[in-house]
Amino acid sequence: VGAAAVRRQLGLARSSARARSSARPAAGQRFGYLIVIDFEATCWRDAARGGSEIIEFPAVLLNTSTGEIESEFHTYVQPQEHPILSEFCTELTGITQNQVDEGVPLNICLSQFLKWIQKIQKEKKIIFSTDILSNSTSEAKACTFIPRLYDCLVRFIIHKVIFLKWFSLHYEEAFYNRKPKGLNGALQDLGIAFAGREHSGLDDSRNTARLAWRLICDGCVLKVTKSLDKVTYEFCALIPKTSGY
């Protein structure tokens, strides 16, 4: 039996053993909502080549009480430095040249994203704070971000959108005491089939939300793992890494 099959079997066993717990989230969750973000960027077969630019900007809003994705934001972004996608990039992400050509510049994307944030804040009574518990009597629901990000692409986004606090699912490795290979591997370990296409930003975001929900149902109380009290351009070392997820 191959290693992947063993992981799936173990994951399914865990799934059965935790069936009762997976029906209801862990008590005391600080966040009523999570926003999962997973960019896709320009890339080349030669990994040493730098200068990656965001080409897909997705975000999904997860309700931590129900496990439902209640809203989504998604747009393709026009790369400026390298406007022509490599063949490798299209093969990996499934993003076509036509899609980025019909996308929007990053500054327009950020403006649209901020409008989406404002819309869900109003509709869901969301606040970006850790001062309240999601199960408190207050109508306001605390929210934070799960950015599955890499290198320094995030610095401009943090500067513009001010993600002052966030947490990374990198620490789910510690909760389950294992080190899976990639997002798909993390899901397989828990007996969860990846839904959609790997390296699609939107599908990766949705699947990361499913992983977060599983953590919650298995008893993990999610907490902020990273924060920035002062936004500058000099904080690449503070950006959460996710072991190649």
pLDDT tens, position by position, 128-138 = 865 565 555 56
Which of the residues are catalytic?
Answer: 40, 199
User: If pLDDT is split at 50, 70 and 90, which confidence band does 235 have?
Assistant: very low
Q: What is the spatial distance between Cα 199 and Cα 129, in angstroms, rounded to a whole number? A: 30
Largest CA distance in the chain: 53
Tokens representing 11 are 């994951």
Element (H, E) at 159: helix 154-161
Burial class of residue 24, CB neighbours in 10 A (0-12, 13-18, 19+): exposed
- The answer to which of 133-147, 174-188, 209-223, 227-241 has the lowest mean pLDDT is 227-241
Domains of the chain, by residue range, sit at 3-39+56-78+103-238
Q: What is the rounded end-to-end Cα distance, in angstroms, of the chain?
A: 25
3-39+56-78+103-238: which CATH topology? Nucleotidyltransferase; domain 5 (3.30.420)
- The answer to which of 109-123, 134-148, 160-174, 216-230 has the lowest mean pLDDT is 160-174
- Who has greater pLDDT, 147 or 126? 126
pLDDT tens digit sequence for 161-191? 545 455 555 546 677 887 778 888 889 988 9
Tell me the residue length of the chain: 245
Q: What is the spatial distance between Cα 123 and Cα 234, in angstroms, rounded to a whole number? A: 35
Give me the pLDDT at residue 130, please: 56
